[in-house]
């Protein structure tokens, strides 16, 4: 069957299609049907099946005789460490950790926040929670205390599992003070924290609250897998919206297992036993789906890579890992390839390694610029596949399913919709536009298995963010088009979300932080184009009257404030002081116009602008930062 046959087989019988895919999962009690329509545009998948994620990701492979296969390869050029963990070792480690969590009171439905770097123990913590039917919420290590506190208050975890430190090139990230600060700031307090002490830094435990990862597992009874309902949340993953309050995306257990398992062969073209590598971080959705769950569910070997594309130690790291561990399919963000290419434009490092094991490269997380794809294709001589998805969907919306058929590549397009996704391009009024016309990208409901059925404790926000604008559709927040051949093109976000080095960030969240500076009366943050990271945040600050301190000082404090409040990952380093912000007569800040000026693009002065002269002031300020050159 080719791509079109598979897609058509889903269209003609969605229920039958997904029930067939569900057979690849080990259910304690198989679901009676696939789709559960809850009314009012809410849907669930496999809701009455009983199943356990950890069983499917770990134990069943041991039972099936794959116990001695490597499940996880840990490769850390930052700490010069490599480790191999077999499926049987993983099963034993996870069962014991789950037993220790259970002994301290963690049960099905309890939340467990995980704040850990790229070490195998992060995956073990996720799997141990899943083993008990507890709901984990992993927080990316590049987020600071305030962001962690916001997530703690929303998820209300019974336990937090953290490492003593993370390792960034040239600096140790001290997790413990960040964790302590977050717990102090949060209104909700966890019952206990588990601290994994890394060799690089041993953190002092807080008496009465913290336990040692090794110590608290001593002598406990390993825990068996607890079957949960198909619609039971496997995890909550927070992602950026338009405000500083992140959205808690829910991932239900049954659909997650079925969709991820399907994707491994059909999209990523790997068979059980093959080595699959996603060079991301467990704190992001790519890490959840394709470092932890999908490869393990499918019986692959996954790689936990603690390093960067460049500088750890050089631009050949990716190729060294691929060749050494015999990676078959490799997944990363375009920004990582841009970083490698900048240091090694001719691909000299590539020539030093035997990459004959590599069959394809997959890019996602941000728009893949054709230049980067072409460079990678030329240098690596394998298909380089752009595919589009979001934290909300948990797996690919549009891509090129190499395991079914290699569709001809069209540069700039992540190819075609995956089964389960009926993608439409709509105008503002919700009418479909002709092929080749730009519009809002929407997906006809229901979304497929594995995608979000809602937000954690925020149904009204879920409806407002995704369902209300186009009734009967899920609003993706992306704009783009579909051409005559059915290829999808993703052009821009329709909201205030920006994408910095493949990391999704909220300009609204940064504005909230800047507005809290005592000298700032008003502010705006926009995303300006950046050759390496895709976009960078840039802030405009209007000062309160009577403030006459040096502007550089205030800018410096603001940059520091964002780093302290949101975290280094915000990469907020550009800001300037302006007298006024350009606004419409009704008071809306004209951010899109400022982006065009910054990127030296042509623009039309909006007819509704209050005072066009302000745009010149903005241009001058941007030129001072090296933007708005034309
Ligand atoms: N813990 C703590 N700090 C972190 C962190 C983590 N897990 N991850 C990143 N940071 C810090 C970085 O050290 C950097 O700090 P600095 O301002 O002191 O230099 C800051 O956050 C910005 O990080 P980032 O934007 O990732 O830049 P970088 O300099 O670390 O790396 C590239 C830049 C070009 C190498 C980048 O392309 C890259 O690899 N990005 C990751 C892509 C990715 O995995 N995306 C996920 C979706 S698939
Ligand atoms: P995240 O939720 O962090 O995965 O970010 C999702 C957003 O990243 C999408 O809504 C897009 O804006 C962008 N994105 C992800 N993959 C692609 C892609 N292949 N092409 C263009 N944009 C992408």
Mean pLDDT of 127-154: 97
CATH number, domain containing residue 526:
3.30.300.30
**Residue 242 in this model has a pLDDT that exceeds 90:** no
139 pLDDT more than 90: yes
- Across residues 109-126, what is the average pLDDT? 98
Is a pLDDT exceeding 80 seen at residue 630?
A: no
- The confidence score (pLDDT) of residue 455 equals 98
Strand segments (E) across 457-519: 473-482, 488-493, 497-500, 503-506
What string of DSSP letters covers 284-352? SHHHIIIIIIHHHHTT-EEEEE-S-SSSSS-TTHHHHHHHHHTEEEEEE-HHHHHHHHHH-TT-TTGGG
| Per-residue pLDDT tens over the stretch 303-325 | 999 999 999 999 999 999 999 99
Residues 411-438 have pLDDT tens digits of: 999 999 999 999 999 999 999 999 999 9
Q: What is the pLDDT of residue 514?
A: 97
Whether 107 maps to a domain, the answer reads: yes
Query: Looking at the predicted structure, is the pLDDT value of residue 326 above 90?
Result: yes
Q: Which atom of ligand 2 is nearest to the CA of 392?
A: 2
- Tokens at residue 613, please? 């002269």
The pLDDT of residue 518: 97
User: DSSP character for 509?
Assistant: H
Question: How close is the Cα of 335 to the center of ligand 2, in Å?
Answer: 12
Checking if the pLDDT of 177 tops 90, the result is yes
* Diameter of the chain measured on Cα atoms: 74
Q: Give Cβ neighbours of residue 433 (< 8 Å, ≥ 6 apart).
A: 425, 426, 427, 439, 481
User: What pLDDT, on a 0 to 100 scale, did the predictor assign at position 302?
Assistant: 99
User: 379 burial class (0-12, 13-18, 19+ CB within 10 angstroms)?
Assistant: buried
Beta-bridge partners for 583: 589
List, in sequence order, every residue forming a beta bridge with 303; answer none if it has no partner: 73
Nearest to 245 by CA among 316, 149, 339: 149
Instruction: Determine the average pLDDT of the residues in 38-57.
Output: 98
Residue 601 covered by a domain: yes
Mutate to test the pocket of ligand 1, among 282, 334, 335 (most ligand atoms within 8 A of CB): 335
How many CA atoms are closer than 13 Å to the CA of 84, on its beta-carbon side?
A: 9
Residue 278 Cα, ligand 2 centroid: separation in angstroms?
A: 16
Residue 445: inside a domain, yes or no? Answer: no
Gyration radius of the chain's alpha carbons? 24
> How many Cβ atoms from other residues are within 10 Å of residue 564's Cβ?
14
282 lines ligand 1 (CB under 6 A): no
Binding site membership of 339 for ligand 1 (Cβ less than 6 Å): yes
Q: What is the DSSP string of 575-621?
A: EEE-S---BBTT--B-HHHHHHHHTT---PPPTTBS-THHHHHHHHH
Residue 624: predicted pLDDT: 96
Query: Which structural domain, as residue segments, surrounds residue 116?
Result: 87-226
Handedness of CA 427, 432, 434, 437 (dihedral sign): positive
Distances (CA, A) of 437 to 19, 86, 485: 35, 50, 13
CA distances from 126 to 81, 107, 121, 234, 237 (A): 22, 14, 9, 9, 12
Look at ligand 2, atom 21, and give the residue with the nearest C-alpha.
367
On whether residue 317 sits in a domain, the answer given is no
- Gap from CA of 116 to ligand 1 centroid (Å): 15
Looking at the 3D structure of the chain, how many domains does it have?
Answer: 2
User: Span 381-393, mean pLDDT?
Assistant: 97
Average confidence (pLDDT) over 340-367: 97
In this structure, which ligand is nearest to the CA of 330? 1
What does the pLDDT average to over 441-448?
Answer: 98
| Cβ proximity of 444 and 475 under 8 Å | no
Spatial CA neighbour of 486 closest among 438, 431, 435 = 435
Residue with tokens 């014991």: 96
Q: Which ligand is nearest to the CA of 537?
A: 1
Q: What is the pLDDT of residues 278-301, one digit of tens each?
A: 999 999 999 999 999 999 999 999
Q: Could you tell me if the CB of 1 is within 6 A of ligand 1?
A: no
Above pLDDT 90, what percent of the chain?
98
Among the candidates 226, 249, 278, a domain finishes at 226
Residue 614 has pLDDT above 80, yes or no: yes
Which tokens belong to 294?
């999908």
**Which positions ≥6 away from 265 have C-beta within 8 Å?**
271, 298, 403
Distance in angstroms (rounded) separating the CA atoms of residues 384 and 406: 11
In a domain, 571, yes or no: yes
Whether 218 is covered by a domain: the verdict is yes
Q: How many CB atoms lie within 10 A of CB 552?
A: 9
Number of Cβ within a 10 Å radius of residue 243: 14
- Mean pLDDT, the chain, rounded, equals 97
Alpha helices in 186-293 (DSSP H): 253-266, 285-287
Query: What is the 344 CA–ligand 2 centroid distance (Å)?
Result: 26
Residue 245 lies in a domain: no
Residue 203, SS3 per DSSP: coil
pLDDT of 345 reads 96
Point out the domain boundary residue: 168, 193, 226: 226
In a domain, 293, yes or no: no
Reduced to 3 states (helix: H, G, I; strand: E, B; else coil), residue 517 is: coil
Picking from 167, 196, 226, the residue at the C-terminal end of a domain is: 226
119-138 mean pLDDT: 98
Average pLDDT over residues 253-264: 98
Tokens of 220: 């406990």
Q: Which of 247, 282, 288, 366 to mutate to test the pocket of ligand 2 (most atoms within 8 A of CB)?
A: 366
CATH number at residue 119: 3.40.50.980
Contact 507, 521 (CB under 8 A): no
- Give the pLDDT of residue 243: 83
């Amino acid at each position: 069957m080719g791509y079109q046959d598979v897609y058509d087989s889903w269209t003609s019988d969605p229920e039958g299609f997904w029930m067939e895919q569900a057979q690849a999962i080990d259910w304690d009690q198989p679901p009676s049907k696939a789709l559960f329509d809850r009314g009012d545009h809410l849907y669930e998948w496999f809701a009455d099946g009983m199943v356990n994620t950890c069983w499917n990701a770990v134990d069943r492979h041991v039972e099936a005789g794959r116990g001695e296969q490597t499940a996880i390869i840990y490769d850390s050029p930052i700490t010069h460490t490599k480790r191999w963990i077999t499926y049987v070792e993983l099963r034993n480690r996870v069962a014991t950790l789950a037993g220790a969590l259970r002994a301290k009171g963690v049960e099905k439905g309890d939340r467990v926040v995980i704040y850990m770097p790229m070490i195998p123990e992060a995956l073990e913590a996720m799997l141990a929670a899943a083993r008990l039917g507890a709901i984990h919420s992993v927080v990316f290590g590049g987020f600071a205390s305030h962001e962690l506190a916001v997530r703690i208050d929303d998820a209300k975890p019974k336990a937090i599992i953290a490492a003593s430190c993370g390792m960034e090139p040239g600096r140790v990230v001290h997790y413990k003070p960040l964790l302590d600060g977050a717990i102090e700031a949060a209104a909700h307090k966890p019952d206990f924290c588990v601290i994994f002490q890394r060799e690089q830094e041993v953190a002092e435990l807080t008496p009465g609250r913290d336990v040692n990862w090794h110590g608290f597992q001593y002598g406990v009874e390993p825990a068996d897998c607890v079957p949960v309902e198909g619609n039971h949340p496997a995890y909550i993953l927070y992602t950026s919206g338009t405000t500083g309050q992140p959205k808690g995306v829910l991932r239900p257990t049954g659909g997650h297992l079925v969709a991820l398992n399907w994707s491994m062969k059909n999209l990523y073209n790997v068979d059980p036993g093959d080595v699959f590598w996603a060079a991301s971080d467990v704190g992001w959705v790519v890490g959840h789906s394709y470092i932890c769950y999908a490869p393990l569910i499918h019986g692959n070997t996954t790689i936990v890579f603690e390093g960067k594309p460049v500088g750890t130690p050089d631009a050949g790291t990716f190729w060294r890992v691929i060749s050494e561990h015999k990676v078959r399919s490799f997944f990363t963000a375009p920004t990582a390839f841009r970083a490698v290419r900048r240091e090694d434009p001719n691909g000299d490092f590539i020539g030093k390694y035997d990459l004959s094991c590599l069959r394809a490269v997959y890019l996602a997380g941000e728009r893949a610029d054709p230049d980067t794809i072409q460079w990678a294709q030329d240098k690596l001589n394998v298909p380089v596949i752009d595919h589009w998805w979001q934290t909300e969907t948990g797996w690919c919306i549009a891509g090129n399913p190499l395991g079914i058929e290699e569709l001809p590549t069209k540069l700039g397009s992540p190819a075609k919709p995956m089964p389960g996704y009926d993608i439409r391009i709509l105008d503002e009024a919700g009418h479909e536009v002709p092929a080749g016309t730009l519009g809002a990208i929407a997906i006809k409901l229901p979304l497929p298995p594995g995608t979000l059925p809602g937000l954690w404790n925020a149904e009204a926000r879920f409806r407002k963010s995704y369902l209300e604008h186009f009734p009967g559709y899920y609003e993706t927040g992306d704009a783009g088009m579909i051409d005559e051949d059915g290829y999808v093109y993703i052009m821009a976000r329709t909201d205030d979300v920006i994408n910095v080095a493949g990391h999704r960030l909220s300009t609204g969240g940064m504005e909230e932080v800047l507005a809290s500076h005592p000298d700032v009366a008003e502010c705006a943050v926009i995303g300006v184009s950046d050759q390496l990271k895709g976009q960078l945040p840039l802030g405009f600050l209007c000062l309160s009257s009577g403030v006459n301190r040096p502007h550089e000082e205030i800018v410096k404090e603001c940059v520091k404030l964002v780093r302290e409040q949101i975290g280094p990952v915000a990469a907020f380093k550009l800001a300037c002081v302006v007298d006024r912000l350009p606004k419409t007569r009704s008071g809306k800040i004209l951010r899109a116009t400022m982006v065009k000026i910054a990127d030296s693009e042509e623009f039309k002065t909006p007819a509704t602008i209050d005072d066009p002269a302000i745009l010149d002031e903005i241009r001058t300020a941007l030129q001072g930062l090296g933007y708005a050159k034309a």
